[in-house]
Structure 1
């Protein structure tokens, strides 16, 4: 049964207007006239300017490795907290003449990308340009790593770290599809990018042809390959070719490999991170060179 008020509304044809509606509760729900954001009563949020990470190294290991690299002599701007500056002076950790600018930790963090763990040290410097392929591949001996379109800085940095740990002669990357050897990549490498030669080449397939002429065999990593790494590797100078996690080694690059090999995974979970796969491959390649 309808109320009298409802009948009267129907009779007059009058519809409840905005003012006829009950007052909205003061909390919750939609507010037709919200207060302006960032006004005089609310402080504006400070926006951090965008930082070009390709021109920064940060963290103790990457920065100290760069300071010890003769190729860095006369380059860059070195910033450190007071305790780190004292350590550098006391232990002679800047042998190439870099002078330290002392800054506090908060100011240093503002100069770097968000989340950068600087450990009281940062170095603003141009990325390393790389060396010629023949600088570390002639004469042919040992193991080198070739990265086919790996773009994740954390993965590439970790591969540099493993390559240095297992005694690789150097790393080969494609110039157009590789991150700069700085920023998060250098941090993940723990300074290995300053100590391990890197050749940036235009075309990986042609680079493999040149390496073959110099006496290197190329072993590509492919989870669907028939041979295992243990079966494919021997004492010969070896290029380990690692592809991206999504696409793997590209077809044309794979065609220039002498053999494709896999890492056997009896656990039934065939999804290794590429930096983990590289570490295993480097271990196997090192072991193969010492086998009787």
Structure 2
């Protein structure tokens, strides 16, 4: 019979038996021991939430790399405007055999006067550096933008001697809109601009270009949580007014214009987010002719900031 140790030729040699000979060797006891609390889903290798968290971390790292790298302003007019405005350029790239005109000559002269390195490079290399933008043979490299802390914005505003006027952006993702809003903020006497850390454009080459160099003079900060930062400013006595198509008041009846004020500009599509809208003391609409679509974020911000500046001039608050 198979396995019968008494059958001839089937005797198992001593020491060759599989498994434990006496007892379980502690395997049974260890099997009964607890393994501790179950790790969170994000910490369990192979779990869908762990994979999602890893992918989100990788995207965030790539976003940081994009923000921290140098930017290049491309185009003859933008480069000249940036140099005139004092944008802190580090290198002026000039394409070999470029057809020099007054703008190229002025750009080279301004760069030399400011001690900015001037490099002649093949046009193909300038194409690559500017991501195939229309550079017209000129590119100005600027260092990563240095953002300030949100607390610094309010301190700067209070030290100005005028009622604080700050601008906060809620999800403005187009760098051209961001640059235009920064330019309007500087033009109408705002003391700083606040950006959220997520779902927002940053000061890139496009924003530099649209701001016409005013980003170099305007304090700009990033808030980890925009709603929480607005509440902190409100506790300091600052009023919050949000631009909204269905605002609680229209721009003609904005009573907060001469108070310490934060103007909140919503995103290009959905406007103000729910939490930010609930944080506002007032929401403000801009009266428009019938049949006309709403203004984009940067134009609406300019209209409201111009009205705030006008009221402050009339009342002598600036």
Common fold by TM > 0.5: yes
Task: Say whether 1:259 aligns with 2:282.
Answer: yes
Which aligned runs of 4 or more in structure 1 are off by greater than 6 angstroms? Answer: 68-71
Task: Say whether 1:132 aligns with 2:146.
Answer: no
Structure with the greater alpha carbon radius of gyration: 2
Q: Which residue of 2 aligns with 1:3?
A: none
What SS does structure 2 have at the residue aligned with 1:187? helix
- Do the aligned partners of 2:72 and 2:139 also contact (CA within 8 Å) in 1? yes
Task: State how 1:50-199 maps to structure 2 within 5 Å.
Answer: 55-58=70-73, 59=75, 63=79, 72=88, 76-81=90-95, 83=100, 86-88=105-107, 90-91=109-110, 94-95=113-114, 97-103=115-121, 107-114=125-132, 116-138=133-155, 139-140=157-158, 141-199=163-221
Q: Which residue of 2 aligns with 1:290?
A: 313
What SS does structure 1 have at the residue aligned with 2:228? helix
CA distance in 2, matches of 1:258, 1:154: 28
Q: Which residue of 1 aligns with 2:248?
A: 226
What SS does structure 2 have at the residue aligned with 1:57? strand
- Do the aligned partners of 1:220 and 1:241 also contact (CA within 8 Å) in 2? yes
CA distance in 1, matches of 2:308, 2:135: 34
Runs of 5+ in structure 2 lacking a partner?
1-65
Q: Which residue of 2 aligns with 1:49?
A: none
CA distance in 2, matches of 1:203, 1:60: 38
TM-score normalised over the length of structure 2: 0.65
CA distance in 2, matches of 1:165, 1:60: 24
Deviates more, 1:229-238 or 1:280-289: 229-238
Runs of 5+ in structure 1 lacking a partner?
1-51
Displacement, 1:178? 1.9
2:273 to 250, 265, 282: 250
CA distance in 2, matches of 1:61, 1:214: 42
TM-score normalised over the length of structure 1: 0.70
**Higher RCO (Cα < 8 Å, 6 or more apart):** 1
Structure 1 vs Structure 2 CA RMSD: 2.9
What SS does structure 1 have at the residue aligned with 2:203? coil
Displacement, 1:245? 2.3
Q: Which residue of 2 aligns with 1:48?
A: none
